Amino acid sequence: MYKWIIGFILCGSLPLYAGVQGDLRTGGNLYKQKKYGQALSQYNQILSQHPSHLEALIGAGTSSYYLKDYATAQAAFKQAASQDSARKEDALFNLGNAYYRAHDTEKAQQAYRQAILRNPADKEAIHNLQLLLEEKNNQQNQNNQNNQNEDKNSPNQNPQNNPTPQNGQGQESPKDSSASQTDKDAADRVLQMARDKEFQEQPRSNRGSADNNSIEKDW
């Protein structure tokens, strides 16, 4: 009797399982066709019945990411990352990207650090974290430089206590602003490079083809 009940339960669950897998395949195909809105609807359909479904969460997150709905992407990746699964690292990496695109670099750093703790060999997470740290350092240096320039050019300085250097002909030496402008331009180029070129922005979505129900890293 016990075995019969178990068998009945398993048989009854097969249509439900097949339906979810079919929805995942449909969502994956739409995602690959870059129909992110339709893919998101497909994943949300699964989540309406199975709110913690890991692959549907990651699919919904990556679709929202490409739709530039970073708040929705963050919520999906956060929920996926809360599960102790083989996809936790991917969810954390994606969460870091979503935070970065929403200009929340502090939370992005935290997510990348967690991904690296999960897998110290995660090259993409390491790369992005390094870029964020370099960006933060460059921004701090630029702010320090700007503050120094403001102090030097402050009209409140007493010329008697801080005499202006004179040139050989008794005239004030011209202020050389080219150096500070060069520093600013260099910092801006570094920041732009980190944002638009070097940053590994591709979220990790479903591995494998949409036909075999596995998941692929979408580089």
Q: 173: which 2 tokens? A: 């030496």
Domain residue extents for the chain: 2-127
Higher-pLDDT residue of 1, 79? 79
Question: Model pTM?
Answer: 0.64
Q: Specify the range with the lowest mean pLDDT, choosing from 16-30, 124-138, 184-198.
A: 184-198
* CA–CA separation, 59 and 76 (whole Å): 9
Question: Exposed, middle or buried by CB within 10 Å (0-12, 13-18, 19+), for 10?
Answer: exposed
* CA–CA separation, 27 and 40 (whole Å): 7
Residue 99 — very low, low, confident or very high, per pLDDT cuts 50/70/90? very high
Taking the domain 2-127, which CATH number applies? 1.25.40.10
